[in-house]
Structure 1
Amino acid sequence: MLEHLSPSERAVLLIMLNRSLDDHRVPPEAADHVRQHFRDQLEAFVSPRPATLVYTGWRGAARQRVRADLETTLARARGRLHVIVGYNPDTDEPSGGDRWTYEWAIHTPGVTVETHPAPWHIPALSRSAGPYRNGFMLGVAAGRGGAFEVLAHLHPSSRGASGTAAYADHLGLRIRKEPAL
C-alpha cells in the first residue's frame, strides 16, 4: 500500500503504530481496524493531490468535443482529476459544455467534481453573477495550490467562456483554449 516508502520506513511506521496501540491497551480486534485506518489515512496523506481543472465553455458546445478534451486532460493527469465547473445539478443549468463536463465527471473513475452555480438570486449582482462565479472558480483553484489548468471551449458568440479565458490569461494561469464545435 505504501510502495513508495522504503522497507525500513514502513517498518519504522509499523513499530510506532504498534507501540502506540500497546501503550493504550487497544484490544487486538480493534487494533486491526486501527492499523487499516492508519494505512488508509497515511496513504491519502502522502499521495499527491489530483490535478485540478477549471472548466468553462459555450452553452452550445459539442458533447463529443467536450468529452474528448476531458479524456485528454484526465490522461495527462495520470487518471486523477478534480473538476471545478459552474454547473447547477439542481436546476440542470447551464446547458452545453458545463452540463457535459459535469455528466462526464460524475461517471468517470478517478474524477471528482465541485460545482459553483452562478448566484443569480443576488439582486446586486444582476447580470454580473455569471462572470462573478467564473472569476470565483479561478480564485478557488489558484488559492488551493497544486497543479491546475483551465479548459475553455470557445465560440465567437460565447461571452462568458471567452471572458473567463481572457481573465485567466490576464492572471497568467495555464489555459487550454479549444473550439466548442
Structure 2
Amino acid sequence: MNGPTLTTEQKRRFEEILEEILGGYPIDRGIVDHVMANFAAAMDYWCQPDQLTIVYTGSRLADRQKVRKDLTELYDRYGGFRLLIGYDRVKDKPSGGDRYAYEWAAAVPDVTVELHPAPWHIPELAKAAGPIRNGYMIGLVQGRSGRYGMLAHLFDGSTGSAGAAAFARHVGMAVWGRPA
C-alpha cells in the first residue's frame, strides 16, 4: 500500500467494532485492553489526519495585505492546512490573489501548496480554462477525506472568482467570501 487510506472516523468505527466483538466473549479485561491498544497503534499506520484543505480563488485585483491577513486568520484558527491554488509559478500567472496566496503559503512551513494552473494552452479550452480549473479543484477536494472549504477574495464585477465561489456553494462547500 502506498499511503494512508482510512479516515480517523473510519479508524474509530473499526475500533468500536473490535471492542464489541471482544466484549462478547469471556476474555480477561486486561487482554482486551492489550489487544485494543495494539490494534489502535497498528491502525494509525493506515489512517490519515483529517487535514483541512482550502481551495483559493481570488481576483487579479485582490489586495496583497488582505490575502495574507485572511490566510493568516485561517492558519491561526485551524493550524496547518493544504492550499489549492490555480496559479502557474513558471509563468507567474494569474497575478493578484492567486500569486499572493502562493507567496504567503510558500513562506509558511505547515501549509502544503498544490498548484493547478488553468489549461489556457489548449485551444479548445481557452475560453473556459479558468472555470474548468476552478471546477476541477473543487471536485478534487470533495473526493478527499477531511475537512475542506474555499477562501474567495471577491471584487465587484469579477466573474471568475465569483463563479468559483458560487459553484463551491452549489456543491455544498463552505465558502469564506472576503472583499478583494
TM-score scaled by structure 2? 0.74
Structure 2: how far apart are the matches of 1:59 and 1:49?
A: 31
What's the offset of the Cα at 1:177? 0.5
Q: Which residue of 2 aligns with 1:28?
A: none
What's the offset of the Cα at 1:145? 2.6
Secondary structure in 2 matching 1:55: strand
Structure 1: how far apart are the matches of 2:50 and 2:106?
A: 18
Q: Which residue of 2 aligns with 1:72?
A: 73
Instruction: Say if 2:50 and 2:145, in contact at 8 Å, map to a contact too.
Output: no
Q: Which residue of 2 aligns with 1:61?
A: 62
Q: Which residue of 2 aligns with 1:23?
A: none
Question: 1:154-173 alignment to 2 at 5 Å?
Answer: 154-173=154-173
What's the offset of the Cα at 1:45? 5.0
Structure 2: how far apart are the matches of 1:12 and 1:117?
A: 44
Aligned length, in residue pairs = 147
Q: Which residue of 1 aligns with 2:135?
A: 135
Runs of at least 4 residues of structure 1 off by over 6 A? 41-44
Could you say if the C-alpha distance between residues 75 and 42 of structure 1 is closer, same or farther in structure 2, counting changes exceeding 3 Å? farther
What's the offset of the Cα at 1:147? 0.1
Could you say if the C-alpha distance between residues 45 and 155 of structure 1 is closer, same or farther in structure 2, counting changes exceeding 3 Å? same
Using the aligned pairs only, state the percent identity: 47
Q: 5+ unaligned residues in a row in structure 2: which ranges?
A: 1-32
Could you say if the C-alpha distance between residues 168 and 90 of structure 1 is closer, same or farther in structure 2, counting changes exceeding 3 Å? same
What's the offset of the Cα at 1:159? 1.1
Structure 1: how far apart are the matches of 2:63 and 2:45?
A: 36
TM-score scaled by structure 1? 0.74
Instruction: Say if 2:83 and 2:114, in contact at 8 Å, map to a contact too.
Output: yes
1:97 aligned onto 2:97: yes
What's the offset of the Cα at 1:43? 6.5
Could you say if the C-alpha distance between residues 11 and 167 of structure 1 is closer, same or farther in structure 2, counting changes exceeding 3 Å? closer
What's the offset of the Cα at 1:51? 0.6
